């Protein structure tokens, strides 16, 4: 995350969601969950970045939170984040960390074979195809593994996860992965997909779902977001980010897809895109996953149905 993005995050959360909103300290750790590949049946290691509500003044402060801090007591919803093609689990930390501050645990696996660290093979090779076929099973396995951690007395996450409150989110290929998981996995209660593609291969999705697309998306096109929205049969929300591009929703478009600089000078700033995303993404998960308090739900409903400058909002809550 850029220094400017980090510096403005607190102000974004305050102004978008109310100064009185309780902001929880963010812990971060990494666990590797190993599954069998659904294609080769060989071991597939998923290095998973996990953000979680933490106890103050524990852990070591770093860019992405308090490293290995003590987990705050309580049971919190679990949200799995899926990164884009040739991306990283940390590519949208402004969002994943904001969701933790709002009261979630967020687990983001590195889809082996489809990360920036995999080099040129992350796109358009047999390795990429193999990874693509494993994406939704990867997310399902991370859900399995995190629930197992919650039942393990020796784990940092013992008795820390609400197994009846599970969400998925992601961007680009990860947005499609989140949607496919919401379609196939009955444990998923809510889904948020940013700049997704692959609408033609999706069936209907009945859980509450938000789609955030970019007006000037030069990778998949904004129309893909509209096509996905048309397949949603439950409470549904479509947010169009005006003058934004495909990588406006990552931390830094200069280090996006395969570390290529895909910033477009005429697009809105990265910080403005983040502000618009958080204005709807956080209330969405508050409404359908994070809170049962009537006042919080009412406030979230209002935020989710109120257009603001910089977006075109379509809703059927």
CB 86 within 8 A of CB 258: yes
So what's the pLDDT on residue 259? Answer: 67
Task: Label the pairing between strands 190-194 and 209-214.
Answer: parallel
Distance of alpha carbon 134 from alpha carbon 156, whole angstroms: 27
In total, the chain counts a number of residues equal to: 317
DSSP one-letter string for 249-267 = GSS-GGG-GGG-----TTS
pLDDT in tens, 154-195: 999 999 999 999 999 999 999 999 999 999 999 999 999 999
Closest CA to 175 of 78, 83, 275, 280: 83
Q: Token pair for residue 18?
A: 């109310």
Residue 243: predicted pLDDT: 97
Tens-binned pLDDT, residue by residue, of the chain (317 aa): 343 344 333 333 333 333 335 789 999 999 999 999 999 999 999 999 999 999 999 999 999 999 999 999 999 999 999 999 999 999 999 999 999 999 999 999 999 999 998 888 888 778 888 889 999 999 999 999 999 999 999 999 999 999 999 999 999 999 999 999 999 999 999 999 999 999 999 999 999 999 999 999 999 999 999 999 999 999 999 999 999 999 999 999 987 776 667 788 899 999 999 999 999 999 999 999 999 899 999 999 999 999 999 999 999 99
pLDDT digits (tens, 9 = 90+) for 136-145: 999 999 999 9
pTM score of the predicted model: 0.92
Closest CA to 196 of 216, 232, 226: 226
Q: Which domains does the chain have, with CATH numbers?
A: 3-316 (3.40.50.1820)
């Amino acid at each position: 995350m850029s220094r400017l993005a980090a510096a403005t995050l607190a102000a974004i959360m305050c102004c978008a969601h109310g100064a009185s909103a309780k902001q929880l300290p963010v812990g971060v750790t990494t666990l590797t969950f190993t599954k069998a590949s659904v294609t080769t049946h060989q071991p597939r290691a998923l290095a998973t970045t996990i953000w979680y509500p933490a106890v103050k003044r524990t852990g070591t402060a770093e860019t992405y939170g308090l490293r290995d801090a003590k987990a705050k007591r309580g049971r919190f919803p679990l949200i799995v984040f899926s990164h884009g093609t040739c991306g990283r689990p940390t590519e949208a930390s402004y969002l994943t960390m904001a969701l933790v501050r709002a009261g979630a645990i967020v687990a983001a696996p590195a889809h082996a074979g489809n990360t920036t660290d995999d080099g040129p093979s992350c796109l358009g090779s047999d390795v990429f195809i193999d990874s693509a076929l494993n994406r939704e099973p990867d997310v399902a396995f991370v859900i399995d593994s995190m629930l197992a951690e919650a039942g393990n007395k020796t784990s940092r996450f013992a008795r820390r996860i609400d197994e009846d409150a599970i969400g998925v989110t992601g961007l680009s290929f990860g947005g499609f992965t989140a949607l496919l998981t919401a379609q196939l996995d009955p444990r998923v209660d809510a889904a948020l997909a940013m700049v997704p593609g692959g609408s033609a291969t999706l069936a209907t999705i009945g859980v509450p779902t938000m789609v955030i697309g970019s007006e000037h998306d030069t990778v998949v096109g904004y129309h893909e977001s509209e096509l996905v929205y048309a397949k949603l049969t439950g409470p549904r929300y479509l947010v169009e980010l005006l003058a934004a591009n495909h990588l406006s929703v990552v931390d830094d478009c200069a280090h996006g897809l395969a570390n290529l600089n895909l910033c477009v000078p005429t697009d809105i700033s990265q910080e403005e895109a983040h502000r618009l995303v958080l204005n709807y993404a956080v209330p969405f998960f508050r409404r359908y996953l994070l809170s049962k308090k009537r006042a919080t739900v009412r406030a979230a409903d209002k935020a989710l149905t109120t257009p603001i400058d910089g977006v075109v909002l379509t809703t059927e809550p």
